[in-house]
Amino acid sequence: MGRKVGSPPMRMSRLLVRTLREAPADAEVVSHQLLVRGGYIRRLASGVYSFLPLGLRVLHRIEGVIRSELDRAGCQELLLPALHPVELWEQSGRAALFGSDVLPALTVEGRGGTFVLGPTHEEVVTVTVGAEVESYRQLPVTVYQIQVKFRDEARPRFGLLRTRELIMADAYSFDADKTAMQASYRTVYDAYLRIFERLSLDASPVEAESGAIGGDVNHEFMVPSAVGEDHFVRCPGCGYAANVEAATRGGDAPAPGPPPDDAPPAVEHHTPGRPGIEDVVDFFDDPAVRPGDLLKSLAVFDEDQREVLLLVAGDREARLPSGWRLMEDEDFVDHRSLVKGYIGPTGQQAHGVLVVADVGVGRPGPWVTGANRADHHLSGVLLGRDFTVDRWGSFAQVVTGDPCPRCGSAVELVRAVEAAHTFQLGTKYSDVMAGGTYVTEDGGEAAFSMGCYGMGVSRLLSVVAEEHHDERGLAWPEDLAPYPVHLVSLGPGRAPEVAAAADALYHRLMASGVEVLYDDRDVSPGVKFADADLLGMPVRLLVGAKGLARGVLERRSRATGEEREVPLDAPVASVLAP
């Protein structure tokens, strides 16, 4: 039975809910459609939703699970402001990212200056907790809050899955050093795993990129789902799991060997207006020239700002290691050997460009490449004769069947929703924010070693709905349902004895502390059945004239459809028992 939350038991004749027979046209995914049809949520603007009483109760259930596990893990709940003075963000340097894709924050002008509608809370928590913690004796400490966050999402979608205003449970750990921080990280990580288990979600922790938050080690908690916007790589052999953005593939650096002596020389072709892989394949119009026979040549800077030409087979998406960036148009001006749209590896080393290739390029060829001359490509290009590779690595996005970097087994690609993300921050924020230091045991000063942890509560509501429904409607897990029991009276208006029996049962359930949604409305049976199925409480208790004549009620499980009769005067425990 779920923890007690918010509102008292409820008669449906009074509940603020209206079920819809049809879903609004803007609802694309099932969870969104059902949550709107069931009167759980309503849209106010794009990516901005109201939670009606039923929706809020589910939200509170999820929060209850999160609170109990974080509390158990020794975390302390607090509540930070959603409105942040912009100066804090200038201190961390992240204000420069506002308006960009990595940190699309919203700001508001007030009397006190510019405020940021908090998209995340590293800055605020560092100065807030830092001001209270002055000594190593007070460490470690982990705090958390459940609060609204604001993000100016480029494209909100799928109901609560991607919104501009969202509810998040975010935690922050403060430790004396990296080792202690890693222990705190593990504690929250384990708590997260227990939370997902209690939410009946199959979440996998995966290695990920850290994005705008920063830090070295981080994990995303991915819930496999058809409506997911992310993909992660999973190895059935050893358990390796990583976001495709961070995943690498295994296999040794290739040794392609010498090119064949008798191969014809490379041939140059005039290919005007065909900069893309598909364009060039169309040009050759030859079954022997497939995308995989082309070299995708990307001009990039590596983490040390060196000029690098990155080679990937044409049928693969490139994956840039973090810290690397693609050359922009203005960068090409300084690198005349790289002709945008017609780049090839031949002779690049002579121009001071390092040639780095994905292991998938480890065969002689023949390859089709750019000719480093506008509107021209080369065919019959051979590795070892026409170009050489300085360094091999994993630079292509991993796909199903690629070898695992740990054990070599074939990995699989899984579509998933990112439900949480945890980061080992180190001193990224404590180094620069006021109050980010404490006094050490030997009287010196050191910066906190921090971790941060975020879980999307409102997103989880959608994820749970997505994973727990059928064609008739929602089917909440017992711990998350707004009410564990849905009591339905059939025809109370025409059968006063039915109404009286249902009322009596309602009061008995309440007296036993059971939170019950009571459909006392005088509407036709079909409407009541349909609404009960749509709303999805785990247990439906039915009082009707038929059963009443024999002194029984009917108990039906929403998830399994199992139904059995129970004497009306049976004890509450046996009425509810499966």
DSSP 298: E
Q: Is 148 in the site for RNA (CB under 7 A)?
A: no
Q: How many CA atoms lie within 13 A of 269 on its CB side?
A: 19
Binding mask 28-57 for RNA (x = CB under 7 A): x--------x-----x-xxx----------
Q: How far is the CB of 322 from RNA (least distance, A)?
A: 10
Q: Which one, of 47, 7, 68, 247, lies nearest residue 157 by Cα? A: 47
Q: How far is the CB of 573 from RNA (least distance, A)?
A: 22
**Adjacent-strand bridge partners of 113:** 110
Q: Which one, of 195, 194, 188, lies nearest residue 218 by Cα? A: 188
Kindly calculate the radius of gyration of the chain based on its CA atoms and give it in whole angstroms: 30
Please say which residue, 1 or 44, places its beta carbon nearer to RNA: 44
Q: How far is the CB of 430 from RNA (least distance, A)?
A: 19
Burial (0-12, 13-18, 19+ Cβ within 10 Å), 44 = exposed
Please say which residue, 404 or 535, places its beta carbon nearer to RNA: 535
Q: Which one, of 309, 304, 343, lies nearest residue 324 by Cα? A: 304
Instruction: Write out the binding residues for RNA, residues 195-254 only, by CB under 7 A.
Output: 209-213, 229-230
Q: How far is the CB of 418 from RNA (least distance, A)?
A: 6
Q: Which of 23, 86, 510, 572 binds RNA (CB under 7 A)?
A: 23
Please say which residue, 367 or 429, places its beta carbon nearer to RNA: 429
Q: Which of 31, 33, 120, 437 binds RNA (CB under 7 A)?
A: 120
Q: How far is the CB of 37 from RNA (least distance, A)?
A: 7
Q: Which of 530, 559, 570, 572 binds RNA (CB under 7 A)?
A: 530
Q: What is the DSSP string of 194-247?
A: HHHHHTT---EEEE---TTT--S-EEEEEEE-TT-SEEEEE-TTT--EEETTT-
Q: How far is the CB of 525 from RNA (least distance, A)?
A: 4
Q: How do 412-426 and 367-370 pair as beta strands?
A: unpaired
Binding mask 549-568 for RNA (x = CB under 7 A): -----x-x------------
Q: What is the C-alpha to C-alpha distance for residues 145 and 398, in angstroms, rounded to an integer?
A: 36
Instruction: Write out the binding residues for RNA, residues 341-370 only, by CB under 7 A.
Output: none
Stretch that binds RNA, among 22-30, 184-192, 278-286, 342-350 (CB under 7 A): 22-30
Q: Is 469 in the site for RNA (CB under 7 A)?
A: no
Site size with RNA, rule: CB under 7 A: 63
Show the tokens assigned to 321: 């290691």
Q: How many helices (H) and strands (E) does the chain have?
A: 12, 32
Q: Is 11 in the site for RNA (CB under 7 A)?
A: no
**Adjacent-strand bridge partners of 301:** 307, 325
DSSP 360: G
Please say which residue, 94 or 385, places its beta carbon nearer to RNA: 94
- Residue 412, number of CB atoms within 10 A of its CB: 16
Instruction: Write out the binding residues for RNA, residues 445-464 only, by CB under 7 A.
Output: 454
Q: How far is the CB of 208 from RNA (least distance, A)?
A: 8
Please say which residue, 25 or 255, places its beta carbon nearer to RNA: 25
- Residue 25, number of CB atoms within 10 A of its CB: 6
H helices of 93-150, in order, are 122-132
Stretch that binds RNA, among 69-77, 146-154, 232-240, 362-370 (CB under 7 A): 146-154
Q: Is 534 in the site for RNA (CB under 7 A)?
A: yes
Q: Are 311 and 345 in contact (CB under 8 A)?
A: yes
Q: Are 425 and 451 in contact (CB under 8 A)?
A: yes
Stretch that binds RNA, among 298-306, 474-482, 490-498, 503-511 (CB under 7 A): 490-498
Instruction: Write out the binding residues for RNA, residues 49-108 only, by CB under 7 A.
Output: 101-105
526-549: burial string, b at 16+ Cβ within 10 Å, e else: eebbebbbbbbbbbbbbbbeebbe
Q: How far is the CB of 555 from RNA (least distance, A)?
A: 11
**Adjacent-strand bridge partners of 144:** 77, 171
Stretch that binds RNA, among 12-20, 366-374, 378-386, 568-576 (CB under 7 A): 12-20
Q: Which of 545, 559, 570, 572 binds RNA (CB under 7 A)?
A: 545
* Residues found in the chain: 578
Stretch that binds RNA, among 73-81, 178-186, 349-357, 525-533 (CB under 7 A): 525-533
- Residue 290, number of CB atoms within 10 A of its CB: 14
DSSP helix/strand/coil, 522: coil
Q: How far is the CB of 467 from RNA (least distance, A)?
A: 19
Q: Is 542 in the site for RNA (CB under 7 A)?
A: yes
Q: What is the C-alpha to C-alpha distance for residues 186 and 217, in angstroms, rounded to an integer?
A: 12
Show the tokens assigned to 549: 């004549």
Please say which residue, 129 or 532, places its beta carbon nearer to RNA: 532
Positions touching RNA (CB under 7 A) are: 18-26, 28, 37, 43, 45-47, 101-105, 119-120, 149, 151, 154-158, 162, 209-213, 229-230, 418, 421, 454, 472, 490-491, 493-494, 524-527, 529-534, 542, 544-548, 554, 556
